[in-house]
């Protein structure tokens, strides 16, 4: 099975030499950096060579070719392994880049980063995330293949996972869903090395991984102790690829740090660079020159010959695309082109019919779906409740992968990471929803999406104490401040249906993740937003009412509290107090405005009261005083909870007058 790759370099079989060289590079880079994880990379050198040298289709000169096989290194700490293979196979990663491993600004950071290093598909590091990302990529491939046919979309997603990935809870969630959906083009290879940082995995782990994955509906290939047998490894992977109705787990027993004379099978090989003496001793065993970053030119030449198959596969794919009438539509989706939808007029909602923003969100998404066929929407068992049930769509299932409605089940963390994988695969725009308080369960995935600039849209509903009777466990308080603090995440809390419509239109064209924070309860549809939101929402904040040059006080609200501020402004106006109401749906967008424009909206020195039914943390940057909730909620009907916690129009009036030095009852 390996004869087609035969060849001799300096008296050695070239593939055997390749594995030795990869092991050498896996030691050299961490040793030079005085930081890194050599052991796993050394152990997995044969597997990595089989994947890149024998199995996968990719073109180093066109790393974003849409129908390439995808590779995800879920234990991203072993990044030098991936960098070594990308370098050897001809990606734009030089020997000097390998030598700059973990150096500021280099192409070879400590963990793989998408958009930073050619050939890296996703950002990995937090264990288990990459595995769930792979499930998302496989879902995207399966969905697009079902819609456009094998001729245009037909590739595999390969991921290496470690003990840590499988211990993390996210892997259980993601594996369960992948088995249920029958993702036959997903192949996970389990690096079963029995080592964690603390020591042997047996300290904390006694799972039957094979039994566990079989119970999820996976095809399992137990290779046993053949970590250096290239033909056996390839045979196991080919068997997995041949199973097209189930995802596959290939279990490979490896020896971390092999063949180090001191650190083989040692926890010390996991996260500690080897000394120069240990590197020299190991290279002697490997029978390669004791020189840093050794790669003979003939080895580069052999890898260039091997990767020819990927170039030929890409060229054949391009010919098929040119002949297939479905290609222009697929190309638009792969490019994320939303121009046809941008050209349409926004929905305008009826002011006579109060509407929860979760409901208007669903209407906005449904209205756009015919022009945005890339939308694939669903919820963590809350699809209808969160407005993410795409009207008219069928469910994505093993029997119907062309469906655009995803039932993620009660798996928030996996849902978030799967959405990231789908987005980074390309061709789909994932939308996923859950109650806002449960965003905490998926926070790790949200953060990686932000780091990765993944185009995903979160619909976080039941956004405040308006949840009511479900009580403090379900009433978000600190979540808004927490997510606003996350770099790269756009957080939008619209005031009503009209703001939600405009926010949705911005979200579908964003270049990174967007969190829509939506109400459970019905909210008034405001006449002002119908006139102003389309023009001013992207400013992050705008004057809804009271554009006087010198207002006495500014009421600054978000979400459901904007209408509360408007009600308070009527009372204040009747008492002769010039009041401006400002809606601030997105703090980050406001922060990006020109300072002069910000000053027009929130004039410095004008008493400003922020009103939001959540933590007041962060509002001091915009307001003189903040009305909010810096405690957990309570169980009662929503209107009673607002009253009990003082988030009312009457209280806004009282506090605003206090700020102006007006005693109670005085005009």
CATH classification at residue 147: 3.40.50.970
pLDDT at 615 over 60: yes
Beta-bridge mates of residue 220: 249
Structure token digits, residue 200: 């042997």
In a domain, 527, yes or no: no
Q: Looking at residues 519-527, what average pLDDT do you find?
A: 97
Strands, E, within 398-545: which ranges? Answer: 405-407, 429-435, 457-461, 490-492, 514-517, 542-545
- Active-site entry in 121, 412, 528, 561: 412
Cα separation, 122 vs 417, in Å, equals: 11
Cα separation, 183 vs 397, in Å, equals: 10
Dihedral Cα 41, 43, 46, 48, nearest 10 deg: -30
Sole residue written with tokens 């939008």 = 492
In a domain, 82, yes or no: yes
Structure token digits, residue 541: 């904040």
The pLDDT tens digits of the residues spanning 546-600 come to: 977 889 999 999 999 999 999 999 999 999 999 999 999 999 999 999 999 999 9
CA 422 to chain CA centroid, nearest Å: 9
What integer pLDDT is reported at residue 71 of this predicted model? 98
Strand 12-13 to strand 8-9: parallel, antiparallel, or no bridges (unpaired)?
Answer: antiparallel
Task: Express as a percent the part of the chain with pLDDT over 90.
Answer: 96
Cα separation, 212 vs 49, in Å, equals: 28
In a domain, 591, yes or no: yes
Is residue 276 domain-shared with residue 404, that is, in the same domain? no
For residue 4, name the pLDDT band (cuts at 50, 70, 90).
very low
What's the sign of the alpha-carbon dihedral 280, 283, 284, 285?
positive
What's the sign of the alpha-carbon dihedral 389, 387, 488, 590?
positive
In a domain, 330, yes or no: no
**278, 313, 348 — which closes off a domain?**
313
412 is catalytic: yes
Structure token digits, residue 189: 């290879």
Is residue 488 domain-shared with residue 365, that is, in the same domain? yes
The pLDDT tens digits of the residues spanning 245-290 come to: 999 999 999 999 999 999 999 999 999 999 999 999 999 999 999 9
What integer pLDDT is reported at residue 664 of this predicted model? 62
Reduced to 3 DSSP states, what percent helix, strand and coil does the chain have, rounded to the nearest 5? 45, 15, 40
Q: Write the DSSP assignment of 558-587 as a string of letters.
A: -TTHHHHHHHHHHHHHHTT--EEEEE-S-H
What integer pLDDT is reported at residue 1 of this predicted model? 31
What integer pLDDT is reported at residue 667 of this predicted model? 43
Structural domain boundaries enclosing 490: 339-517
pLDDT at 333 over 60: yes
The pLDDT tens digits of the residues spanning 115-162 come to: 999 999 999 999 999 999 999 999 999 999 999 999 999 999 999 999
Structure token digits, residue 553: 């006080």
Strand 542-545 to strand 579-583: parallel, antiparallel, or no bridges (unpaired)?
Answer: antiparallel
What integer pLDDT is reported at residue 547 of this predicted model? 76
Q: Looking at residues 307-336, what average pLDDT do you find?
A: 97
Answer yes or no: are the C-beta atoms of 581 and 565 closer than 8 Å: yes
Residues 6+ apart with CB under 8 A from 664: 654, 657
Is residue 559 domain-shared with residue 636, that is, in the same domain? yes
pLDDT at 10 over 80: no
For residue 2, name the pLDDT band (cuts at 50, 70, 90).
very low
**Omega of the bond prior to 259 within 30 degrees of 0, cis?**
yes
Is residue 27 domain-shared with residue 138, that is, in the same domain? yes
What integer pLDDT is reported at residue 3 of this predicted model? 37
Phi then psi for 420, rounded to 5 degrees? Answer: -60, -45
Is residue 151 domain-shared with residue 286, that is, in the same domain? yes
pLDDT at 6 over 90: no
What is the DSSP-derived secondary structure letter of residue 423?
A: H
Is residue 356 domain-shared with residue 247, that is, in the same domain? no
pLDDT at 311 over 90: yes
- Into how many domains does the chain fold? 3
What's the chain's average pLDDT?
Answer: 96
Side-chain-side CA neighbours of residue 212 (13 Å)? 16
What is the DSSP-derived secondary structure letter of residue 20?
A: H
pLDDT at 44 over 60: yes
CATH of the domain at 550: 3.40.50.920
pLDDT at 340 over 50: yes
Compute CA distances 317 → 151, 306, 411, whole Å. Answer: 7, 18, 36
């Amino acid at each position: 099975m390996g004869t087609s790759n035969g060849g001799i370099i300096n008296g050695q079989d070239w593939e055997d030499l390749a594995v030795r060289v990869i092991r050498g590079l896996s030691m050299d880079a961490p040793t030079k950096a005085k930081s890194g994880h050599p052991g796993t990379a050394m152990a997995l050198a044969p597997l990595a060579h089989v994947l890149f040298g024998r199995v996968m289709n990719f073109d180093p000169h066109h790393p974003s070719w849409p129908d390439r096989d995808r590779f995800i290194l879920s234990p991203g700490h072993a990044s030098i392994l991936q960098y070594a293979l990308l370098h050897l196979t001809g990606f734009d990663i030089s020997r000097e880049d390998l030598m700059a491993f973990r150096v500021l600004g280099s192409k070879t950071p400590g963990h793989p980063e998408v958009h930073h290093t050619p050939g890296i598909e996703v950002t990995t590091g937090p264990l288990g995330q990459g595995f769930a990302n792979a499930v998302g990529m496989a879902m995207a491939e399966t969905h697009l293949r079902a819609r456009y046919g094998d001729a245009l979309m037909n590739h595999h997603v390969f991921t290496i996972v470690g003990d840590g990935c499988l211990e993390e809870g996210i892997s259980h969630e993601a594996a369960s869903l992948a088995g249920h959906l029958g993702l036959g083009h997903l192949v996970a290879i389990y690096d079963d090395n029995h080592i964690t940082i603390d020591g042997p995995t047996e300290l904390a782990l006694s799972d039957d991984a094979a039994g566990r994955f079989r119970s999820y509906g996976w095809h399992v290939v137990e290779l046993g102790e053949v970590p250096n047998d290239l033909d056996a490894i390839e045979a196991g992977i080919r068997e997995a690829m041949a199973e097209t109705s189930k995802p596959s787990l290939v279990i490979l027993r490896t020896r971390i740090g092999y063949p180090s004379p001191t650190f083989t099978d040692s926890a010390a090989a996991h996260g500690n660079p080897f000394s120069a003496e240990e590197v020299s001793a190991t290279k002697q065993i490997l029978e390669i020159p004791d020189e840093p970053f050794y790669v003979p030119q003939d080895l580069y030449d052999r890898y260039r010959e091997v990767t020819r198959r990927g170039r030929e596969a890409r060229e054949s794919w391009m010919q098929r695309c040119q002949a297939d009438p479905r290609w222009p539509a697929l190309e638009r989706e792969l490019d994320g082109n939303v121009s046809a939808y941008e050209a349409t007029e926004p929905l305008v909602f009826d002011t006579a019919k109060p509407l929860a923003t979760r409901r208007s969100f669903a209407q906005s998404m449904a209205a756009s779906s015919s022009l945005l066929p890339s939308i694939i929407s669903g919820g963590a068992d809350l699809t209808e409740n969160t407005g993410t049930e795409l009207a008219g769509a069928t469910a994505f299932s093993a029997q119907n992968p062309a469906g655009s409605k995803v039932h993620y089940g009660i798996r928030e963390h996996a849902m978030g990471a799967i959405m990231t994988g789908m987005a980074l695969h390309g061709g789909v725009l994932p939308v996923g929803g859950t109650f806002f308080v449960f965003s905490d369960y998926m926070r790790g995935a949200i953060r990686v999406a932000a780091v990765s600039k993944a185009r995903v849209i979160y619909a976080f509903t039941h956004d405040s104490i308006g949840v009511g009777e479900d009580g403090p466990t379900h009433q978000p308080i600190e979540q808004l401040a927490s997510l606003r603090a996350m770099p790269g995440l756009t957080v939008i809390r619209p005031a009503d249906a009209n703001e939600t419509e405009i926010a949705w239109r911005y979200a579908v064209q964003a270049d990174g993740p967007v969190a829509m924070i939506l109400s459970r309860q019905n909210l008034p549809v405001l006449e002002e937003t119908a006139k102003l939101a389309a023009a001013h929402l992207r400013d992050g904040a705008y004057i809804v009412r009271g554009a006087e040059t010198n207002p006495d006080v500014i009421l600054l609200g978000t979400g459901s509290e904007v209408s509360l501020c408007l009600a308070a402004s009527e009372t204040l106006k009747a008492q002769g107090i010039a009041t401006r109401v400002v809606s601030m749906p997105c703090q980050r967008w406001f922060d990006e405005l020109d300072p002069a424009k910000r000053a027009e909206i929130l004039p410095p020195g004008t008493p400003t009261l922020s009103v939001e039914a959540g933590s007041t943390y962060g509002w001091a940057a915009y307001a003189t005083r903040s009305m909010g909730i810096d405690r957990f909620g309570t169980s009662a009907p929503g209107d009673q909870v607002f009253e009990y916690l003082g988030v009312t129009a009457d209280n806004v009036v009282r506090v605003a007058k206090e700020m102006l030095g007006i005693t109670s009852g005085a005009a």
